Amino acid sequence: MAPDPDCIFCKIVQGEIPSTTLYTDDRVIAFEDISPSAPVHLVVIPVDHVTFLTGLDESSEALIGHMTLVAANLAVEQGINDSGYRLVINQGTDAGQMVDHLHMHLLGGRPLGGLAT
Ligand code: AMP
Ligand code: ZN
């Protein structure tokens, strides 16, 4: 999907606003969350402006798998593979989704507590 000029994550992809990017390839980028909820808090996003899980079809299976693999590799790089970590996709209002550009949070570096608070 084409970049959305009003989307903050599209602006990060296009280098229009700064980010601390730790990984990039032709399909995804990963950067530090600006307001971290844990000692390690990265966000993995598609390069393309994909909004929600809703509406994804089978052609997106590889993308979601790639996002997960990139996150798992970053967890190793960040030194939290052995201590453990959490991958989160917030979808919609009740989950607190603030940015309507699909993203996967990688959280770790401390005990993370309950799943849904
Ligand atoms: P969500 O609530 O799942 O939509 O999460 C959006 C995340 O994006 C939040 O954790 C924000 O702190 C993060 N965020 C928003 N703007 C930026 C930015 N410019 N750079 C890095 N992370 C951001
Ligand atoms: Zn976007």
CB 70 within 8 A of CB 44: yes
Tokens 């390839």, residue located: 25
Asked if residues 33 and 23 have their Cβ atoms less than 8 Å apart, the reply is no
pLDDT at 105 over 80: yes
Q: Are 96 and 4 spatial neighbours (Cβ–Cβ below 8 Å)?
A: no
User: Which of 11, 20, 98, 106 is the best mutation target for the ligand 1 pocket, counting ligand atoms within 8 Å of the beta carbon and taking the most?
Assistant: 98
List the catalytic residues. Answer: 103
Rounded to an integer, the average pLDDT of 29-38 is 98
Q: What domains can be seen in the chain, in order of their start residue?
A: 8-108 (3.30.428.10)
Its pTM stands at: 0.96
Give the tens place of pLDDT for each residue, 54-64: 878 898 999 99
Q: Measured from the CB, is residue 35 less than 6 Å from ligand 1?
A: yes
> What amino acid is encoded at 100 in this protein?
D
